[in-house]
Chains A and B, each alone.
Chain A
């Protein structure tokens, strides 16, 4: 037995060496570095890699995929060693930084001439405008960054005799008051009165309205600090009043996102601004698991209020050490949203591993058991987690920046839950991108302290420890205004 195994191993080794030596001459190797937004080793990454290579003859894909929480540490380690990957995925911070330091290939021209941009299926021009640095594009985003919409518990509305979802701020506040009176609890909770990164106000959009506590570029190109504007004071007054009236949970200050969700599932409050898309399904499922009514109504932005904020998505970049960037762009990036097999692979994964069209019964998910006929698209059971289904690969079908080509079967209708789709569509129609603020040396130096101070002022006002006037006076006394002005000046300097 042992001998047999040894023999087989030896044989396998020889064969693989033959294959490697044979293929090494013809194939072009692309080393890619990605976080766990692509299926990992335990979830059929090998099949993904094989399928990608099948769709791209002549290319050999090597995937480096660190753990999600270690991605940026490992990425930096790798970059420091000088052994750079050809393509890698970067968050907006690293993207802007690396681009400024010449580590990324300028893909502006390649993008202008790309098939994706000129396909007519592409709908992300506004996203890509936001990704440009000094008019140049260094990265490619296949999907939107997503953002939050406001969900209201339908059962609570019914209980209070509210038949129409509020469309104005006054109606919205009336609804919150009705909830508070009826259930003796707060009506809204969030994780933090202000977010810790852009787009800061996404968890309490109805109260912030048009106020934004960070640097904003005005139409004429000049910068201001939104925190020092008058609309910020009005927003703070709204929040203070709402907390005082018990409409907003005062523990919003210390809530984590998990706390806020658990309170929502536990019927501690009824109006929750949270991520659009798949989260709509997840909120519903968890409410139902708790024996509560899971029907949620996603609100459109209230009348007179700006659209919801979209996060800046992570982007795929080609490093400047890549031997043939145009070739990598054409093969790797320009095919990701090809509207066909490749987009299918990036969106849903590999047929037979992550999804299937053949007849069968799937024992998984909330449907428990469902039989599909031949030719009917369905996602398959998670290889790792029994009882759960795959929902996507890298690209969330609801956030994808390009539709599938005419005539190519788009499984979106069959794979996405109706409530998730509804929330996602509502969001996509009513969203705008939170702009990237360029990092000047002054900003890098002062903004940490300024942001901490702003956070304290917002908390002080929200909890009623200080009045709005006192709060902004404190901001000035503690040197906030001075720092803010210095940063604004440094940003305006860039325009010259």
Chain B
């Protein structure tokens, strides 16, 4: 496999003339493309059906057991009772704050670590790699982790859930994988031009890895946004709860017998599930442009 790759890697370094990749000739309306589109229509339908059930239930003021195409009695009361919750605003801010700060920190650590790990000739590189991998497999356990967090003052501290997940070896190794795809020649010529490691990091590694940064960043963001375990274990002060904790709280208490306005327990529970997906639906289109098109390395080199 590596050999095949190498065959075409050489021309990549060269400056290639010609039309951009996506301006393909007319032949695009082929049978393959039609079939491909059709396959995705089916896939999307299969994926949507179960989610549809939740969505419809969240908009239905009656409680049914089976599948419905449309709500029996439409109403937004489920969402209203979530968003009219007085104490939701603060957790929302906690979530935004931890997600933004955590994603930034996580990306910083992953890219720096990954960048160091592609220095194949660096003494102790393998040892560093193994130190990281070891933590993926072995862990101290719940109670010792708590004692350490408590010892350094990170319990009941919003920094705890930011700092703890920021080092993620899985993401770091994936990032290293992306950096590896950058032609070595670029780094070598940068070195010859007197560029420092830090300089090459900012001028070559990062700009050429936008898709990787977007995807790893997304993975961090989603992990931070959905983080529940760290808040559950290290935060007892309700003022520091994040959105996810609050939503779980609401799902749980919708199970409790309390007379609720127009929304039934089932409506609220399903509305909570949909609400948890919403931020991603809002965020994702902004990231998507990084996933669409490749980066012409020749152009960067110039």
Contact = CB atoms under 8 A, between A and B. Distances in A.
Interface centre among A68, A69, A73, A384, by most B CB within 10 Å?
Answer: A384
Given A41-B238, A391-B258, A289 B252 contact: no
Interface stretch (A51-59, A135-143, A256-264): A256-264
Given A69-B232, A77-B233, A289-B63, A386 B261 contact: yes
A387 B236 contact: no
Contacts of A484: none
A388 B86 contact: no
Interface string A278-292: 110110011001110
Nearest to A189: B65
Nearest to B145: A77
B91 to A, nearest CB: 10
B261 A388 contact: yes
A485 interface: no
B230 to A, nearest CB: 11
B191 interface: no
Interface string B62-91: 111110000000000000010011110000
A364 B81 CA distance: 13
Contacts of A40: 238
A286 B261 contact: no
A285 B63 CA distance: 11
Contacts of B208: none
Contact of A385 (B81, B142, B232, B262): B81
Interface string B260-284: 1110111001000000000000000
Contacts of A477: none
A80 B269 contact: no
A168 interface: no
Nearest to A285: B259
B125 interface: no
Contacts of A386: 81, 84-86, 261
B257 A278 contact: yes
Given A77-B142, A281-B259, A388-B259, A289 B61 contact: yes
A286 B147 CA distance: 45
Given A266-B65, A386-B84, A388-B258, A81 B232 contact: no
Given A73-B142, A73-B233, A281-B257, A67 B249 contact: yes
Contacts of B87: 42, 383-384
B210 interface: no
A66 B155 CA distance: 12
Interface residues of B, number: 39
A391 B259 CA distance: 9
A257 to B, nearest CB: 8
B63 A42 contact: no
A451 B61 CA distance: 39
A275 B241 CA distance: 31
A259 B237 contact: no
Given A69-B232, A388-B260, A80 B147 contact: yes
Nearest to A275: B257
A418 to B, nearest CB: 14
Contacts of B47: none
A69 B241 CA distance: 13
A286 B265 contact: yes
B143 A286 contact: no
B232 A70 contact: yes
A289 B264 contact: yes
B63 A262 contact: yes
A261 B258 CA distance: 15
Interface string A321-351: 0000000000000000000000000000000
Contacts of A64: 236
Nearest to B235: A67
A73 B155 CA distance: 14
Interface string A103-144: 000000000000000000000000000000000000000000
Given A41-B237, A41-B238, A69-B248, A263 B260 contact: no
Interface in B237-255: 237-239, 241, 245, 248-249, 252, 255
A74 interface: yes
A365 B252 CA distance: 19
B266 A258 contact: yes
Closest 3 CB pairs of A and B: A387-B261, A282-B257, A41-B238
20 contacts: A65-B238, A67-B249, A77-B147, A80-B143, A81-B146, A81-B150, A258-B266, A261-B63, A261-B265, A265-B266, A268-B65, A285-B260, A289-B61, A289-B62, A289-B63, A289-B262, A365-B259, A387-B262, A388-B259, A389-B259
Interface of A: 40-42, 64-70, 73-74, 76-77, 80-81, 258-259, 261-263, 265-266, 268, 275, 277-279, 281-282, 285-286, 289-291, 364-366, 382-389, 391
Given A65-B238, A286-B266, A388-B261, 14 more contacts: A64-B236, A67-B236, A68-B249, A262-B65, A265-B62, A266-B64, A275-B257, A277-B257, A282-B258, A282-B259, A383-B86, A388-B258, A388-B259, A389-B259
